[in-house]
Amino acid sequence: MPVNDYEITIGLEVHCQIRTETKMFCSCRAGFGYEPNTNVCPTCLGMPGALPMLNERAIERTILAGILLGSRIPEESKWDRKNYFYPDMPKNYQTSQLDLPLCIGGAVPLYTWAFPAHSKVSTAQDGVVRRVKLDHIHLEEDAAKLTHYAGYSLIDYNRGGTPLMEIVSAPDLHSPDEAYAYLKSLQQIMVCAGISNADMEKGEMRCDVNISLRPRGRQQLGEKIEMKNINSMSAARRALLYEIRRQAEELDAGIAQVQSTRRWDDALGESIVMRTKENAHDYRYHTCPDLVPIHTAPLMQRAMINMPELPDVRRTRLMQEYGLPSSDATTLVGDAPLCTYFEQTVQAGAPARKAANWVINTLSSVLTEKDAALSDSPIHPVDLASIIAIVEQGIVSTNQAREVLDYMWQHPGMPAQVAADALGYKKADSGALEAIVDAVLAENQDIVEMVRSGNAKLVNALTGKVMKNATPKPNPKIVTEMIIARIGG
């Protein structure tokens, strides 16, 4: 049968590291980029006799995630031990949650702008196509990082013990594009709320993909195939496209699917069987004897003090408060730090529409060229506002302002006006500039007559001659306007 004759059912288990200073059950520093095995202690290394202590900040942020996604927060939650033997978990168990998680139910909105560019989705006034049901959200500790080589593996225990939120969807997704949008929307919510950096390239957000196929009209779901530790949205989409095709072909050939776990090899573009499962519960869970249950009420109160804006709410506000077009507002909410930068630029005095254009186009382009993160930029919002100001005042053109920005990047802290002066860009004396324009027009009467005859493009040639003779360098836009006024007169 064609793939379209099968009903596709997808569920995602998203693992998201929570942004905290310390690990989940010890005081070791959490974070990315440290020398291997430097942020470790007897507790996160699983030494005998070492006891855990709770990270309340991680619990609070997990509860906040649940509130934002409409989950029910039970009055009490408890800890369990998930037993398995693998070198990335030196205790041979993971402290997690099974039957009393922190958050139950809820839903993840699929934002229109979170779908792949090629995807055709219905427009929604509030920016939400639909909401994907959640089963639950639980909190646990992350495993160490394994790096495999030919014949041996290296383990970095820095990541081991990092607070890890697992967001488990219901089997409520039905296409690879929806799965992509789900991951993108969830990432934006986590970043906007300050819950996680959710950087998939750094492993701060990862997902397991569950998928099954069944003939349309059949009630019973097909056998679930799980693909583990996919580390990008595009890889999740590719894995699903491959697995849908593979399962459909095997079902057409009469090959029954067996519940199993597969590894997605993005380089090969195929999934590979790791193991099969007789049932879904193959871990020996039992209640953790070292941790008391959590009473959630006081943590909920703290989480709700400063509720953040969700991306769809922020997008609407950007359009209403700043008069931004939908496209600009959508681009900004898709990158929470960039959106905050934009608002700070406006607060520093820049006109909103021009600030959005500079942030989305010019600044983003500079960051890409210099392979720099926004957090590393020496151009702060007040600096960008000052660059926009000298453009608005007619001191420099937009192209000249880009040179000013580059100069300020090389000289952090330098005001835009000082940088413009250093590059020879000053507001020319109107009388002196008028004299230069008159002289150029007098010397180039043939060009002037051709412009008057309708060849408007030749105005640029006259502007170039004025720019060459003028010191300091004037704004070419002002020069062009002055030439047109004189020729027209």
Tell me, yes or no, whether 55 lies in a domain.
yes
Tell me, yes or no, whether 424 lies in a domain.
no
Find where tokens 């059950």 sit: 25
Q: Which structure tokens are listed for 132? A: 């994907």
Q: How confident is the model at residue 305 (pLDDT cuts 50, 70, 90)?
A: confident
Q: How confident is the model at residue 472 (pLDDT cuts 50, 70, 90)?
A: low
Question: Does residue 294 sit in the same domain as residue 327?
Answer: no
**Does residue 400 register a pLDDT over 90?**
no
Give the pLDDT score at 426: 66
Tell me, yes or no, whether 423 lies in a domain.
no
Rounded to 5 degrees, what angle do the CA atoms 342, 347, 352 make? 55
Q: Identity (one letter) of the amino acid at 335? A: D
Question: Does residue 162 sit in the same domain as residue 133?
Answer: yes
Looking from the CA of 62 toward its CB, the CA atoms found within 13 Å total 31
Average pLDDT of the chain?
Answer: 88
Tell me, yes or no, whether 419 lies in a domain.
no
Q: How many domains does the chain have?
A: 3
Least confident of 3-7, 361-365, 427-431: 427-431
H-helix or E-strand containing 317? Answer: helix 311-322
Question: Does residue 71 sit in the same domain as residue 154?
Answer: yes
Q: Which structure tokens are listed for 320? A: 């209403």
Question: Does residue 61 sit in the same domain as residue 130?
Answer: yes
Are 198 and 164 a contacting pair, CB within 8 Å? no
Overall average pLDDT of the 375-402 stretch? 90
Give the pLDDT score at 453: 65
Q: How confident is the model at residue 399 (pLDDT cuts 50, 70, 90)?
A: confident
Question: Does residue 355 sit in the same domain as residue 294?
Answer: no
Question: Does residue 320 sit in the same domain as residue 450?
Answer: no
Question: Does residue 450 sit in the same domain as residue 390?
Answer: no
Question: Does residue 65 sit in the same domain as residue 136?
Answer: yes
Q: How confident is the model at residue 477 (pLDDT cuts 50, 70, 90)?
A: confident
Give the pLDDT score at 33: 85
**Does residue 104 register a pLDDT over 90?**
yes
**How many angstroms separate the CA atoms of 140 and 249, rounded?**
38
Which of 300, 330, 352 finishes a domain?
A: 300
Which of 268, 300, 332 finishes a domain?
A: 300
User: Where are any strands of DSSP class E within 142-195?
Assistant: 145-149, 152-156, 163-169
**Does residue 124 register a pLDDT over 80?**
no
Tell me, yes or no, whether 353 lies in a domain.
yes
Question: Does residue 19 sit in the same domain as residue 107?
Answer: yes
**Does residue 489 register a pLDDT over 50?**
no
Which of 277, 300, 323 finishes a domain?
A: 300
DSSP summary character for residue 474: P
Give the pLDDT score at 433: 63
Please, is 163 exposed, middle or buried when counting C-beta atoms within 10 Å of its C-beta (0-12, 13-18, 19+)?
A: buried
Peptide bond into 472 cis (omega under 30): yes
Overall average pLDDT of the 15-44 stretch? 95
Name the more confident of 434 and 245. 245
Q: How confident is the model at residue 448 (pLDDT cuts 50, 70, 90)?
A: low
Question: Does residue 293 sit in the same domain as residue 318?
Answer: no
Question: Does residue 339 sit in the same domain as residue 240?
Answer: no
Give the pLDDT score at 84: 84
Please, is 85 exposed, middle or buried when counting C-beta atoms within 10 Å of its C-beta (0-12, 13-18, 19+)?
A: exposed
Question: Does residue 144 sit in the same domain as residue 260?
Answer: yes
How many residues belong to the chain? Answer: 489
Give the pLDDT score at 278: 56
- Residue 394: domain span: 311-377+385-401
Q: Which structure tokens are listed for 14? A: 């998203």
**Does residue 117 register a pLDDT over 50?**
yes
- Model confidence over 255-289: pLDDT tens digits? 888 889 998 988 889 888 888 765 555 688 999 99
- Model confidence over 76-88: pLDDT tens digits? 999 999 998 888 9
Tell me, yes or no, whether 159 lies in a domain.
yes
**Does residue 352 register a pLDDT over 90?**
yes
Tell me, yes or no, whether 306 lies in a domain.
no
Q: How confident is the model at residue 32 (pLDDT cuts 50, 70, 90)?
A: confident
- Model confidence over 188-243: pLDDT tens digits? 999 999 999 999 988 899 999 999 999 988 888 889 999 987 989 999 999 999 99
State the SS3 of 102-123.
CEECCEEEEEHHHCCCCCCCCC
**How many angstroms separate the CA atoms of 23 and 27, rounded?**
6
Tell me, yes or no, whether 194 lies in a domain.
yes
To the nearest whole percent, how much of the chain has pLDDT over 70? 87
